A and B are shown apart, each in its own frame.
Chain A
Amino acid sequence: MVDWRIYEHPILEFDRGEEVTIYLDGEPMKAFESETVAAALYANGLREFSKSIKYRRPRGFFCAIGRCSTCMMEVDGVPNVRTCIVMVKAGMRIKRQKYLAEYLSPILNLMKLPPQVYMRLMTRPGIIYKPAMMVMRQLTGLGAFPKKVLDPPPQNQGAQGEISTEFLIVGGGPAGMQAAIEAGQRGISVVIVDDKDRLGGQLVKQTHTFFSDIKYAAGKRGFKLGEEMISQLDQLPNVRVITETSAVGYYPKEDIMLLKGPNNTTLKVNAKKYLVATGAYEKTLVFENNDLPGVYGAGGVQTLLNVFGIKPGNRGILLGTGNVALMVAYHLIQAGIEVAGVYAPSFRRVRGYFVHAAKIQRHGVPVVTRHTIVKALGRKEVKGAIMTKLNTDYSHVPGSQFKVDCDFICIGVGLNPAYDLVQLFNPKMVRSGVLGGFVPIRDKTYRFAENAYIAGDCGSIEEATTAVLEGGLAGLHVTEALDIRSEEISEKITEYEHALEEDRSSPFSAGLKTAMNEITVDDIMEVLT
């Protein structure tokens, strides 16, 4: 029986919980309680989770954190479940979604209909809508209408109704948690909400030790830092933690944040102050066959490897020479997986810290700059990659193409701020390449709208350590805005600001500092009106 799980790791111990059996299209499979459905299926060798709507191309997952939606399957009768964020339960029945159109697709392809037509055909008159949709959903493989909704896990019945609080934090990563700690310790009533089953954000998969000042997080491994912050929050009775719940909208007129939890529960929250700390999305690269199962985001690979202890493959390549790509290469080496090379166009230098590049090369993994991928090979999953050398104008050097044998390709080319929720506050958005994408103008207190604050990667792509500091600052500024002031608070603010300044003092951060100054104003309300 295939089992891709890692049972021996130099740094991590995987506490997988009870062994249970789940069924994929009726076939029993070994799973563990602490695994998501996608992780358990992957461990059993499944690579194709769904098919693309129009061309029926195989789809694996990309991000493994509930963002990319290519891992959708039918779980216990509910269609379109993002299997990467739903936890395994004994006896769960998972089905690949039916594709009636598989037989019709040659005809449909000839008709050259854009994909959205499949969802919009026959929506009028209203009376035929429901039966027509049932047919269309079957045709396109989007599943039948749900016969029932997923049961919530016993410990989380889902929050329901309407509540008021002083401070609502969306996002339970390093920034959100530190804001909750700082505000919570000063008596503010805080609600912190996250869409995963646990707090910690991306810290949970970071097994390397951080740079930074020893006073803050340096030398600690990321997941340990996350655990420490969670236990600090546990001690604060005025901080309420709501997990497996997404913020799906903010309604300025009513001043309500709408949360959607397990079992389709909804919770309306009115808060005096809001903090958006929603983190980021992974960027991808354009190349032939980049949608094949086996092409993953760096974060997806980290999740499989470090959270669930599952090998993404036997031999892989990394695309990108930023810190994330270099780090993931090291994580793969630690898990005993062969890394054929780390490739990127980078001409001027390896983009990440030199020491990260040095530590993987001394283990025999080459970092190859001035190269890029031409295409991924394979029909159902990745079987290899064609690489090419680049000229300084990024054109391919003729005759320099070569094949690399690999069964997965990991893309680590950077992150985009997850600004979806930010936008609902009607901020002034600007685009900044250095900061990762669209970010709101904010003031020195991290306020970007009348009652809304921002911290962490969703405001500017940086490190986990800076996210902690920004979150701490936002939490303290919110505390002050709620009229709790003291000498101690202003001292702490100065301390955090100093630490942030130091963290950004390396030449690596020069461009970032300029960009941050450009989007930081004295009076945010003046900008907004």
Chain B
Amino acid sequence: MADEELKAVQRGYNTREELEELNVLPPEEIVASKRIAMIECTEEIPCNPCAYICRVDAITKDSLSAPPIVDWEKCTGCTACVAVCPGLSVFLQQIKDGKGYVTLPYELLPAPKDGDRVELQDRSGAVVGEGVIVKPTYQARGDAYPRWVVTVEMDDPALSYEVRSIRILGDQK
């Protein structure tokens, strides 16, 4: 029996194509112009810290359960929503000077340090390349418990559409 294709809800993660269809990923010209938030939270979950924490009202939810919508124009890429999301589903993306940047929440050991080399993992956990940590910050927003917010730099800008997790390899030296 041939394996039939699994739907996203049976697989438990989205592909880039699915997210594009759902309008979750920002348009390319915006990614090239500034650091921008995307929220890969496509189900109706009764939850609102992201909309609450946003200082520029770039995130709206029609009701407590409605999926959040990001206003690409308003978003300043401040990372507050990355630090606060209980579902760890907010990421920032940017393409600058030919390099890709992804900012993601990180709650594992070892603690990230500036310049650490990392393995880059996509949404399915597959390793898709290597990158370097540029700006790890340890953030406590609102009542949320602190967590690391880590930006990784990658040479292939196209990877910034795929990378959603990292495994820290250690110092660059």
Contact = CB atoms under 8 A, between A and B. Distances in A.
Q: Enumerate the 6 nearest inter-chain pairs by beta-carbon distance, A residue then B residue, closest first.
A: A357-B12, A355-B87, A364-B125, A349-B9, A211-B47, A362-B165
Given A10-B107, A220-B145, 10 more contacts: A208-B86, A333-B108, A336-B108, A347-B10, A350-B9, A357-B12, A358-B12, A358-B13, A367-B12, A506-B46
B145 A218 contact: no
A11 B64 contact: no
Interface stretch (A27-35, A472-480, A497-505): A497-505
Contacts of A508: 43-45
Interface string B8-27: 11111110000000000000
A361 B10 contact: no
Secondary structure of the B contact surface, majority rule: loop
B142 A502 contact: no
A354 B86 contact: no
Contact of A219 (B12, B124, B143, B167): B143
A508 B141 CA distance: 28
B145 A209 contact: yes
B48 A213 contact: yes
Interface in B135-173: 141-145, 147, 164-165, 167
B64 A502 contact: yes
Interface residues of B, number: 48
Given A8-B109, A219-B143, A505-B63, A361 B46 contact: no
B123 interface: yes
Contact of B65 (A208, A334, A348, A502): A502
A218 B125 contact: no
Interface string B99-128: 000000001110100000000011111100
A63 B142 CA distance: 34
B60 interface: no
- Contact-size category for A: 35 or more
Contact of A220 (B6, B7, B44, B143): B143
Nearest to A366: B125
Contacts of B58: none
Interface string A199-235: 0000000001111111000111100100000000000
Nearest to A504: B46
Contacts of A354: 8-9, 12-14, 42-43
Secondary structure of the A contact surface, majority rule: loop
Contacts of A366: 125
B44 A219 contact: no
Contacts of A165: none
30 contacts: A10-B109, A11-B147, A209-B145, A211-B47, A211-B86, A212-B46, A218-B47, A219-B86, A333-B108, A334-B109, A346-B10, A350-B12, A353-B43, A354-B14, A354-B43, A355-B88, A361-B124, A362-B123, A362-B124, A362-B164, A363-B167, A502-B63, A502-B65, A504-B46, A505-B63, A506-B43, A506-B46, A506-B65, A507-B65, A508-B45
Contacts of B13: 354, 357-358, 361-362, 367
B77 interface: no
A358 B43 contact: no
